[in-house]
Chains A and B, each alone.
Chain A
């Protein structure tokens, strides 16, 4: 795939606060990239630097190999869907969508056709003359999308576009966005702090914390093979426990040895171990390695979620399984090798940042 956007060594400070530190990223044509991270980690700042609303203190931005670091926002071939939609309140739906086309001097015929097409695409045919304040949140969101895509940008920047919507609408819109992305064939750079949204929608997820890239990969890679405790913790629920790598493919957790599939950590090295709650196998007492007692149990739809307290070291395992165990019941836990994910222990927060050469 062709390289479309390259951010090289971007640093950005707000006063004394370093928001981005030597941030580099490559975006390929037609990718759906999601920037995922907790509130305040710098996601919006990255989008704003890309959109041209904020200037980086250091570093360069390339668009199709052209340096656009100093190009103003109105000259960049990318459009933004703002978090709060930012529709023009004094214009009706049609005027909003047509704004960019008018500015670019398109003919009335072209504009009419494009507006029709865009309204069709976002399922809001017949809304041309509505005023903005008479639209629901989801409708405003779709108009904001339509207003951006009629300009046929190479890249669409979306800053938590679904953040203000309720759960059901958000899920609907997620599918709609994926469909739009497929129909339009343009690159999406999407910002969210909702890990589920990131995993559902993207081709590639970039997990950010404190202005650093923590991990970059497909949703499956991010979920199944988190590279550090931050990613493991941030992406879905997980059990993160200290362990010792005895040798390649053998790790000691809670005083029990477990075969695993990771190699290259060295011998007798302290590591972090990630086990997803759905990967913990609950058995009758004696049939597994770790003995524990069921502390709590809630039914969360398809399965039960339980906290099981290990008898050896008091660690409380988060477990999801289909069988029902009673509170106070004594059980044993087990894990299969491929579901054990080993990570290096971070020595300092700085080293948490992973140097990703792309």
Chain B
């Protein structure tokens, strides 16, 4: 008993220092004003039209990125499952490789690629096509999100799909199912848990990012993450920044609960 407790101590310290104290601090700042008096003003500030607009844009971009990641990751996971051992390992390696590089560096690389006089436009012009204005657009931000977060969609989905017994797939074909029927009626329902964690792991960081929108949006496009960041850094209004963060946390918790429910309905009849 005591030795078990002793073992748990480092984790307890970790949880208190890394989770409870920061969240407590944010809750404290978020629910007080500069004079340490209780107020809901910072939280309710989400209703401000600038904030609402940023939140809406963030949700939209995060959704788009999540959908694109899913559309890339899902077929890829099936292809990887069905390729032979060596090829499969290599493909996983290829898609994980970018994760070994620093996140900021990767995003910066896209900046260089997409710039007005960047590599991509250079190549387009070299073959006589007009240069494109990609940098500082919403598309550039979505591109950055997809690029940065795609592995987090691929891995959990591949993880469940690779565990689906081949003979189940063969049984479906055996009973006359076409490939699209096999995907919609066998693969999809059996991979709901992986999809749910993939969606969580792409949607949430996309929703809260400010680095990607800063670097690829040229500071002109404000997502909710940028606004919160600016409250902390530029305006030094920790109370407002924390209040908005609290709203985001609530938002994320609610969407996770929603997704989990999805998972549960899938899991009831799962294995």
A151 interface residue per 8 A CB criterion: yes
| B133 interface contact, C-beta 8 A | no
Q: Is the contact region of chain B dominated by helix, strand, or loop, or is it mixed?
A: helix
Check if B41 is an interface residue, CB within 8 A of chain A: no
Given A89-B270, A90-B270, are A99 and B189 also a contact pair (CB < 8 Å)?
Answer: no
User: In the complex, which of the residues A86, A131, A151 has the most CB atoms of chain B within 10 Å of its own CB atom?
Assistant: A86
Task: List the one stretch of B29-37, B173-181, B201-209, B255-263 in contact with chain A.
Answer: B173-181
A133–B178 alpha-carbon span in the complex (Å): 26
B177 to A, closest residue via Cβ? A103
Binds A, one of B54-62, B149-157, B163-171: B163-171
Check if B174 sits within 8 Å of A73, measured CB to CB: yes
Q: Does A226 contact B (CB under 8 A)?
A: no
A71-123: which residues lie under 8 A (CB-CB) from chain B? 72-75, 79-80, 82-84, 86-92, 99-100, 103-104
Minimum CB–CB distance from A93 to chain B (whole Å) comes to 11
**Other-chain residue from B165, B167, B173, B269 in contact with A74 (beta carbon distance below 8 A):** B173
CB pair A79–B165 under 8 Å, yes or no, is: no
A53 within 8 A of B: yes
Q: Which residues of chain A from 31 to 83 have a CB within 8 Å of any chain B CB?
A: 51-53, 72-75, 79-80, 82-83
Which residue on A lies nearest to B168, using beta carbons?
Answer: A86
- Residues on B with beta carbons closer than 8 Å to the beta carbon of A86: 165, 167-168, 170-171
- The reply to whether the CB of B120 lies closer than 8 angstroms to some CB of chain A is no
Chain A residues 120 to 149 lying within 8 A of chain B, measured CB to CB, are 131, 133, 147-148
Most chain A CB within 10 A, of B171, B190, B271, is at B171
- B266 interface residue (CB < 8 Å to A): yes
Closest Cβ–Cβ distance, residue A201 to chain B (whole Å): 22
Q: Which of A72, A74, A75 has the most CB of B within 10 A?
A: A74
Which among A73, A82, A90 is the interface contact of B189 at CB below 8 angstroms? A90
What would be 6 A-B contacts, judged by CB atoms less than 8 Å apart?
A: A80-B171, A84-B167, A89-B168, A89-B269, A103-B175, A104-B176
Whole-angstrom distance between the alpha carbons of A52 and B173 in the complex? 9
Flag if B175 contacts A147 (CB, 8 Å): yes
Kindly list chain B residues whose C-beta atoms are within 8 Å of the C-beta of A88: 168, 171-172, 186
For B169, give the chain A residue with the smallest CB separation.
A86
Chain A residues, CB < 8 A from B168: 86-89
Query: For residue B175, which residues in chain A have a CB less than 8 angstroms away from its CB?
Result: 74, 79, 99-100, 103, 147-148, 151
Q: Are A84 and B165 in contact (CB under 8 A)?
A: yes
A89/B171 in contact, CB under 8 A? no
The answer to whether A74 and B190 touch across the interface, beta carbons within 8 angstroms, is: no
Instruction: Give chain B nearest CB distance to A162 CB in angstroms.
Output: 16
Kindly state the separation between the CA atoms of A99 and B171 in the bound complex, as whole angstroms.
10
Closest B-chain residue to A79, C-beta based? Answer: B174
Contacts of A99 in B (CB 8 A): 172, 175, 177, 185
A90 lies within 8 A of B177 (CB): no
Chain A contacts for B167, CB-based, 8 A: 82-84, 86
